[in-house]
Amino acid sequence: MKIRNKSVPAVYILLERDGKILLGRRFNTGYQDGNYQVPAGHVEEGELPTEAIIREAKEEVNVDLTLSNLKLVHVGYRTKHDPSGDRIDLFFKVKKWGGEVKNMEPDKCEDLNWFSWDNLPENTVFHVREAFECIKKGIFYHEIGINVLKEKGLYNL
């Protein structure tokens, strides 16, 4: 009998303002600490990806999103890099939202700033940087396999 793949879906919020993207530097999370990433999170059991992104936006950066303002711009697939499984990463661009951007998780994010698409911090989380490069080129889907993860020191099994 074949064993079915169990993938972990995650959503990424690309808040864009004046040609810049919001990034936060991870802190005290145990994963990619010190590196920049967009607000993001996992889809919880029984939750749709669009529900997850609306929830995560409020929890992490205090903004209110609506379905009509979400635009899926990229899908990434990452091979199993830890015991929890493969990842399906859904990147949504948002240009309109309610509320003021505010760091709601100072215990997990030590810096929240706007960066130009062409001038991202060198220490941006690897798979997020890869997705950004694809988005800039109009590539909707990409995959990252075990060999790449091992090469970058991101394979933890």
Total domain count, the chain: 1
What is the Cα–Cα distance from 19 to 1, expressed in whole angstroms? Answer: 50
Is residue 157 situated within a structural domain?
Answer: no
Give the model confidence (pLDDT) of 94-151 as tens digits.
Answer: 999 999 999 999 999 999 999 999 999 999 998 999 999 999 999 999 988 766 666 6
- Residue at 20 is within a domain: yes
91: CATH: 3.90.79.10
Q: Is residue 117 part of a domain?
A: yes
Q: Which residues contact 64 (CB under 8 A, 6 or more apart)?
A: 54, 57, 58, 97, 98, 99
Residue 98 lies in a domain: yes
* Range of the structural domain that residue 91 is part of: 7-151
Residue 1 lies in a domain: no
Of 19-23, 50-54, 81-85, the range with the lowest mean pLDDT is 81-85
